[in-house]
Structure 1
């Protein structure tokens, strides 16, 4: 298929979710809402913890999609153009996630459902009295201001990115081919110029957001690798999710535009970020082990007890060892029955990672903990993410028709 074929078939690149999938999505959202209702009745702070880590997991997929698109715009990469709109479909969840983060922050500020007990330093500021710097940084007003500025910045920039990218296709869909091509070139140059500063804002904002919302749950602990480690998780899960969606739509007209080269390249990136994730995880543990700093090592020792220990063992096996060796073979990057399960294992492992970051700091009674509440909230958040993606795919062509770089990707099949 060449770029002219794409233009002629432009009306066939919308994706309508089957009735069964729609039913499953609404059922998942229903499960999530019921779980939240029960959770706030049974254990409010744990429920907010489950809400936070599941929201953060899917927010990272959305922000990762927008950041990955910006990375390709900076360098003018051709290879990823056929799958760009899938990334933007993930990015459509960013505004929804930010609205949910605002609800969460309001709950923390007002104590709704026990949310004020999620952060120990808000409930008892005196625990930071011996930590100079932290006692000035972790202050509620300053905390809410920082997170609010980051969320507002990410919202504005991601919406701007999406609007520019989609507008050129709207011209093409209206049959204004010449105008779409001219505007496509203009957008290409604009995104190439602005994507670098956008990535700086995304990277800096995401780092501070992770430190404030997640790392501060353990206020006496600190990691200078936190931003990079979270980025590694974000990109590994993004590549796994991209591959799963690419396989799912393979039989559609959109899938015909995606070639083996795209599967191979995304698979290679998933393999690479698997190693990067493992490297930064090991760097965490090694540094604290030989440094022998009590308040730092305690963070890990706490997670080496039940009920968390099984998850600590599962993450490196499912998220590193299995994909490390199975993805070495070329065919493992584009063969659905091999790549699909590996991608699912990676997503499961990193869901465990987020659970391990947050819940051990919130769950008070470890002896009776089972992950039912966390799984129920996951279904709700997954349903919301899937609903956002399917609504986006129904309203926008899932191939960037007016992207000037699409021609190179389709003509050569690799870049």
Structure 2
């Protein structure tokens, strides 16, 4: 442990102040104003409160997904005993520390969404499961044992509580490693990461089925969970890349070099293609099977209001990352990587928008202050909480057994 290079200050800490703090607080304020605008205003054509709830669900889910992706990143690195990522591990750890807060916010939004302006009206509406009622729906009645409000919220709370527990535990073990040295905390991290990955792998699709797919309860896809996982993972990687690059540009993380950025770029490139593979496979299977109960999902998204977004979704999340990051040099240029990472973050916001809006605001569609403002509000909240968590510890895990390998990483 004592062989680490002395050319880098492994005790350096991020100071959360100045423009970063100001901009994040301003963005949070913008989000609060947009939410207030949505709930307090109405006009003749748009029911703003309904749209506001849908956008809160979108961003609450997105926020939680990015934080969960940070915990997943940590777990993968520990189980693989990866060396390259040791020098930047504090960034996903900061995401992971925010996961409990993001989880609470999502649970509150989902619980509220079951009541006021019922987002889950396709299965939580009046009389849908009561034989003889004018709203009776035999298909929904057949799913009532699973799709009912108490069981729905119980699953959501249990899943997010488990994710949050590991999100708290893995950074804590890393901090213990800094204080105590040795390999005990690292070995415990590997063991707990393996447990987390098994749980996460089995429950993530169910989490996506419940929170997003059940918004249109007549429709189902067994690939939907992995489609959501692919979006979660590539946006998490992009958020890590943005944070690393901006810290580098501000003089931090001196031990991170072009090779680390290149590796992040390879992941972003690869999983943008993986997301597209799952997206297209789901689309193709539904298209050629030509079953009305499944084709209706894409029929809605081919309506005039959504069709431009449908194609833009593919351009932002597949075509652009594929073409821009195809070469080795592109993945080693920080400005190019920063642009693509921001593009992917925005692209998968659009991806989630296309998953959520057609099933929740069917009669009162719109796009404007509410959507943009709430997006910036949650970006500000994520930035504030993440950078605040990052400022509490040294930016390098000084006793990580592979820190020296990471410092000399070269590809």
Instruction: State if a TM-score over 0.5 links the two structures.
Output: yes
Question: Aligned-pair RMSD on alpha carbons?
Answer: 1.9
Counterpart check, 1:413 vs 2:409 = yes
With 221-230 and 340-349 compared, the bigger mean Cα shift is at: 340-349
Distance 1:142 1:99 in 2: 17
Q: Deviations over 1:159-199 (max 9, x none)?
A: 11121112222x2xxxxxxxx322xx111111222211211
Distance change in 2, residues 1:338/1:252 (3 Å): closer
Deviation at residue 132 of structure 1 after TM alignment: 6.7
Deviation at residue 117 of structure 1 after TM alignment: 4.4
Q: Match for residue 247 of structure 1? A: 245
Distance 2:243 2:109 in 1: 29
Counterpart check, 1:155 vs 2:164 = yes
Secondary structure of the 1:343 match is helix
> Runs of at least 4 residues of structure 1 off by over 6 A?
none
Q: How many residues align?
A: 396
Q: Match for residue 96 of structure 1? A: 101
Secondary structure of the 1:137 match is coil
Deviation at residue 102 of structure 1 after TM alignment: 2.6
Deviation at residue 46 of structure 1 after TM alignment: 1.9
In the TM superposition, what are the counterparts of 1:280-295 in structure 2 within 5 Å?
280-295=278-293
Q: Match for residue 174 of structure 2? A: 165
Q: Match for residue 177 of structure 1? A: none
Distance 2:143 2:377 in 1: 35
Counterpart check, 1:135 vs 2:144 = yes
Any unmatched runs of 5+ in structure 1? Answer: 172-179
Distance 1:145 1:251 in 2: 44
**Would you say the 8 A contact 2:10–2:395 is kept in 1?**
no
**Would you say the 8 A contact 1:232–1:277 is kept in 2?**
yes
Distance 2:170 2:117 in 1: 33
**Would you say the 8 A contact 1:181–1:404 is kept in 2?**
no
Counterpart check, 1:5 vs 2:14 = no
Q: Match for residue 377 of structure 2? A: 380
Distance 1:206 1:360 in 2: 23
Counterpart check, 1:46 vs 2:51 = yes
Q: Deviations over 1:137-156 (max 9, x none)?
A: 11112111111111211121
**Would you say the 8 A contact 2:75–2:193 is kept in 1?**
yes
Distance 1:225 1:362 in 2: 21
**Would you say the 8 A contact 1:128–1:134 is kept in 2?**
no
Deviation at residue 18 of structure 1 after TM alignment: 4.0
Deviation at residue 10 of structure 1 after TM alignment: 3.8
Secondary structure of the 1:17 match is coil
With 100-109 and 397-406 compared, the bigger mean Cα shift is at: 100-109
**Would you say the 8 A contact 2:317–2:344 is kept in 1?**
yes
Secondary structure of the 2:144 match is helix
In the TM superposition, what are the counterparts of 1:140-219 in structure 2 within 5 Å?
140-169=149-178, 171=179, 180-182=180-182, 185-219=183-217
**Would you say the 8 A contact 2:11–2:396 is kept in 1?**
no
With 124-133 and 215-224 compared, the bigger mean Cα shift is at: 124-133
Match of 1:307 among 305, 308, 327: 305
Deviation at residue 287 of structure 1 after TM alignment: 0.2
Q: Match for residue 74 of structure 2? A: 69
Higher helix proportion:
1
Deviation at residue 372 of structure 1 after TM alignment: 2.5
